[in-house]
Amino acid sequence: KKIHKNQKDLLYCQDNGNVLHSMDLTLSLFSLSRRRDNDLYQFIEKIFYHPLFKSIMISTITLNAIFLAIETDYKARYESHFFLEVSDLIILAIYSAEFLMNLYLDPINYWKDGYKQYDFAVLLIAYLPYTIDRSNPKMHHVATVLKGFQAFRVLKLIYYSPGMTVTLAKTMKNVINVLVLLFLLIFIFAILGHGLYRDPENGDPQNWGTLAAAFFTLFSLVTVDGWTDLQEELDNKQIVTSRTFTIVFILLGFFVFFNMFIGVVIMEIQVKQYEQKLKTERKAALLAKKQAILKRQQEELKELLLQQKSTEYQTFDELVEDFKKTLLHSDPVILEEFCASLPFIDLYLTSLDRQDATVYKHVCYTCSRSLSQFK
């Protein structure tokens, strides 16, 4: 592999020249961090991750849900129109501030998070009603529809509930599998019911005449809501197989798959609670173990102190001083892996310089004396 460099990016290429990876994003992040005001960043980060800010957001989401429920009543909406409009603007301002803070803290990864993308889309929809002329009767209906989409803002509560987020993420996979099986069951019985009971003369075309009507009828049977009325329509046509068809589908759809769906959700919640309980017990056991170790160390330290007080002993400094007294200047010293202070090194180098000067003078004296004798 070859590495190509230039002033802007660093590209990792294969031998045939295909680009594998680009460092433009890394360099842009580095330049962005250099231009960022660190004091402002730390201030916003401190506010955003403070528990009080989390409590404010949860309270805001709860109030938003309450106000949306109040707006469904015509009389309450008419009498409290000004209050509801002002409260909606305040809540929208809080959501916007939270969005800007989150975007400022992590501008790149913000758009990679699916939940945050959903949050931005809901926030954008919340601003759309204020761009529509409500005095126009044709646009008033559009504004009302967009107002209804604001109910999705309540789902922000999931983001501020970590336990709910983890439980939902773990549950969705199993729930989707059960829903797929339930859909296949409804599809099979819808085709079967459409073929058996679609005849206008001897069947029930209102509930089984089309595939869509058959799907809706079977959904009512799954929830066991008004299934007796549906069965009565078939009994009036004196269809022999209708009761067997209805009983088999209710047994499979309601008692098996529908209860399986509920059981999966309950099981995941219980598993999450059990894991949390185990985690708490492990933390308690680890804390007790640490306390026992500290207690044992304290007891051993007390025993050592008592032993030192009861017998004659020397401190480390005293042992070093005694060792220094046994050293002689003529003793050889191995300097391998030897650590000394800077003053010692300075004196040692000075001594070496003087030693070299002495040797040089001695050599010069010897040479001059030899020359004089030779002459």
CA–CA distances in Å: residue 92 to residues 83, 86, 248: 14, 10, 51
CA dist 167 and 273 (Å) reads 10
- 106, 44 contact by CB (below 8 A): no
pLDDT in tens, 317-350: 777 777 777 776 666 665 555 556 677 777 788 8
Position 188 scores a pLDDT of 92
pLDDT in tens, 188-198: 999 998 888 88
pLDDT in tens, 69-103: 888 888 888 888 888 889 989 999 999 999 999 88
- Sign of the alpha-carbon torsion through 42, 45, 49, 50: positive
Domain 176-281 has CATH 1.10.287.70: yes
Position 96 scores a pLDDT of 92
Q: Average the pLDDT over 12-34 and give the result.
A: 43
Position 375 scores a pLDDT of 63
pLDDT grade, residue 271 (50/70/90)? confident
Q: What is the mean pLDDT of the chain?
A: 79
pLDDT grade, residue 258 (50/70/90)? confident
pLDDT in tens, 95-136: 999 999 988 888 888 888 878 888 888 888 888 888 877 777
Domain ranges (residues) in the chain: 1-35, 38-160, 176-281
CA dist 30 and 25 (Å) reads 9
Position 25 scores a pLDDT of 44
Q: Which residue has the higher pLDDT, 151 or 15?
A: 151
Q: What Rg value do the Cα atoms of the chain yield, rounded?
A: 41
Range from 22-26, 29-33, 300-304 that averages highest in pLDDT: 300-304
pLDDT at 19 over 50: no
CA dist 150 and 65 (Å) reads 9
Position 205 scores a pLDDT of 85
pLDDT at 210 over 50: yes
Q: Average the pLDDT over 251-280 and give the result.
A: 84
Range from 11-15, 152-156, 218-222 that averages highest in pLDDT: 218-222
Question: If phi over 0 gives left and psi between -120 and 50 gives alpha, with beta otherwise, what is residue 337?
Answer: left
pLDDT grade, residue 283 (50/70/90)? very high
- 272, 171 contact by CB (below 8 A): no
pLDDT at 14 over 80: no
Position 150 scores a pLDDT of 78
Are 38-160 and 176-281 in the same CATH fold?
no
Pairing between β-strand 2-5 and β-strand 19-22 as defined by DSSP bridges: unpaired
Instruction: Check residue 141 and report its DSSP letter.
Output: H
CATH architecture of 38-160: Up-down Bundle (1.20)
Q: Where are the beta strands (DSSP E) in 89-216?
A: none
Residue written as tokens 């500290």? Answer: 294
